[in-house]
Amino acid sequence: MFIDTHAHLNFKDFDLDYIQVIERAKKAGVEKVIIPSSNLKTSLKAIEIAEEIDGVFTAVGLHPIHVKDEDFNETEFLRLAKNKKVVAIGEIGLDYYYDKSNLLSQKEVFAKSLRLAQVVSKPVIVHSREAGMDILPLLLAESPMPRGVMHCFQEDWQFAQTILEMGFYLSFTGLITFSKNQKTVEVIKKTPLERILIETDCPYMTPEPYRGKRNEPAYIVEVARKIAEIKKIPLEKVATQTSKNAIELFKLDK
């Protein structure tokens, strides 16, 4: 079985067919899917889908690229975070790629989100784009440090080591199936399988051989297949261990 730990089925790309998308995923061996959110609206949508379909869970939160146009409603996010289908806070973090004009606001919202995770005792799904050195001190400032995963990991091994030492998991997307990705290949080789999660990040990051199409959870097998190839281990071992990791981190067996 596979678990897609990051699928944006709450985005408009899936408005018309998310039920069929999930059915295809189950036929492909995907037993569980986690839907992360980017703002309050998508958090509400994610919960709606998760409550409708067995095996679907969600995370709620305010993505850093939306900090500039939406206030972090602590009261409402706390209410949503207590829902039994919500297994994490996310995706949250810092993004310096698109806009560096609101770095302080991003950091403030990230810190508030980390504290929310502590209040509800749930892990975090962290987005970090060109912001790794600022992410670390904010995580280290929390006591106790939150559990969580670095989503769509693309940093180097030195950064990966630090994150792993902090107890975090690393999650990989279809980007690893592209040929020009040697830095990530090195990280996958060196990271224990017990600390790896897999995700599609759909509708983005479509893996080979489906590149150019809308991504969806059924394609998660290609991410697992690439990890198996890089580590020279059976696909079944990757599927089993990454699913076990996801169940452990997000408490999906409760």
Fill in the DSSP letter of residue 193: G
* 127 labelled binding-site residue: yes
* 6 labelled binding-site residue: yes
Q: At how many degrees (to 10) do helices 235-250 and 220-231 cross? A: 110
Q: How far is Cα 55 from Cα 62, in angstroms, rounded to an integer?
A: 24
* 63 labelled binding-site residue: no
Q: How far is Cα 169 from Cα 125, in angstroms, rounded to an integer?
A: 10
Single out the residue of 207, 225, 224 nearest to residue 216, CA to CA: 207
Residue pair 215/206 in contact (Cβ under 8 Å)? The answer is: yes
Give the C-alpha distances (Å, rounded to integers) separating 76 from 44, 82, 103, 200: 10, 10, 23, 28
What number of other Cβ atoms are within 10 A of residue 69's Cβ? Answer: 8
List, as residue ranges, the binding site for a divalent metal cation.
6, 8, 91, 127, 151, 201
List, as residue ranges, the binding site.
6, 8, 91, 127, 151, 201
